[in-house]
Structure 1
Amino acid sequence: MIEEKTLLIIEDDLAFAGVLARRLTRHGFVCQQAHDATQGLLLARQFMPSHILLDMKLAEDNGLALIEPLRQYLPNVLMVLLTGYASIATAVEAIRMGADNYLAKPVDTQTLLNALNTTPDEGSIAPVDEKPLNPKRLEWEHIQQVLNTNKGNVSATARQLGMHRRTLQRKLLKKPILV
């Protein structure tokens, strides 16, 4: 008997969640969608999925805060964190908290399937590129790490980094450099 693959998608962007559900349904997953943290925790208990796709930014909530409660309800679930704001600091934090993998948006179907079809003990983190990071990318990641340490407080982060708050806000509005 083939075990059914069930997937809970916790994503606040309704259109993107729908696209993910349609794509993954075609590949054998039975999908449910939640669009906020409360609904995600409730559906996790009711649906008991084998896999979870979790967005890092859920409107006013942070997806990182859901990793531990989800892991308590479902210790064997394969959990993949999706984010549009990828950084090494948040990837390390997500894995430390219990996520099995961490993917940056936009993500293609094959990469997503590869992440969802691994077992939690297979070492599911993508191999790190050996090329040195662009200095602007390093700056972006450092800012994200300090911002995370300051719990999102822009003023405290600006003081700690020794820059004007408005300068920091402008830097935060820019998309991260991928190379």
Structure 2
Amino acid sequence: MQEPTTAERLLIIDDDEMFCHVLNRAMSRRGFEVLVAHDSEQALSLARQHRPELATLDLKLEHDSGLKLLPELMEAVPECRVVVLTGYSSIATAVEAIKLGAVNYLCKPADADEVLAAFEKETGDPEAEVAEQPPSINRLAWEHIQKVLQENDGNISATARALGMHRRTLQRKLQKRPVRR
């Protein structure tokens, strides 16, 4: 993506203060006017007040789901292009993020250049690499848990019941980073 000719506004929505600081600095150096929000309420307030052209949205905010915030953000600023960022990627959440209006979905860690490229990309890539091996059993289990969690609107107890596991066991599994493919 080319550097903005006029200061485009970028809203960074993430509860990780260090990540926000690093991305804020990198994007400010590229000519963006950067706003930072650490929760849903602050994000919606800044979005309504400043009407950013671009936003990055963390999928897993401290007390909220980025997927729940996404429709409200799109309603507040329909012209805003949103890229969802997450350290907890899954196929289910990627599909939902796009359905809810995100223009792209990136796995953390992502640097400023990757974020800019995600905003710029408007079509799919038919040349995208197809994995040589199918995902591992552990990865499939992670994907299934994420799908059931999404179906239960993030409710841990309902998800644990649906999966036939103890709630604490599910919470421990969700605290771990996703399994590599």
TM range (shorter): 0.7 to 0.9
How far did residue 136 of structure 1 move?
Answer: 0.9
Please give the root-mean-square deviation of Cα atoms over the aligned residues, in Å: 2.2
After TM superposition, the structure 1 = structure 2 runs for residues 112-127 of structure 1, keeping only pairs within 5 Å, are 112-118=115-121, 121-123=122-124, 127=128
Q: Percent identity?
A: 51
TM-score normalised to structure 1 length: 0.87
Which of residues 67, 86, 93 is equivalent to 1:64? 67
TM-score normalised to structure 2 length: 0.86
2:11 equivalent in structure 1: 8
Q: Residues 127 and 43 of structure 1: is their aligned pair in 2 closer, same or farther, counting only changes over 3 Å?
A: farther
Separation (CA, whole Å) in 1 of partners of 2:157 and 2:50: 41
Aligned length: 176
Q: Residues 14 and 173 of structure 1: is their aligned pair in 2 closer, same or farther, counting only changes over 3 Å?
A: closer
Matched, 1:36 2:65: no
Runs of 4+ in 1 over 6 A off after TM superposition: none
How far did residue 3 of structure 1 move?
Answer: 3.9
Q: Which one-letter code corresponds to 2:87 in the other structure?
A: G
After superposition, what is the alpha-carbon deviation per residue over 1:76-98, rounded to whole angstroms, capped at 9, x for unaligned? 21100111110000000111111
After superposition, what is the alpha-carbon deviation per residue over 1:16-50, rounded to whole angstroms, capped at 9, x for unaligned? 11111001112222111111111101111111111
1:173 equivalent in structure 2: 175
Structure 2 unmatched ranges of 5 or more: none
| Structure 1 stretch displaced more, 161-170 or 65-74 | 161-170
| Structure 1 stretch displaced more, 11-20 or 85-94 | 11-20
2:90 equivalent in structure 1: 87
Q: Which one-letter code corresponds to 1:104 in the other structure?
A: C
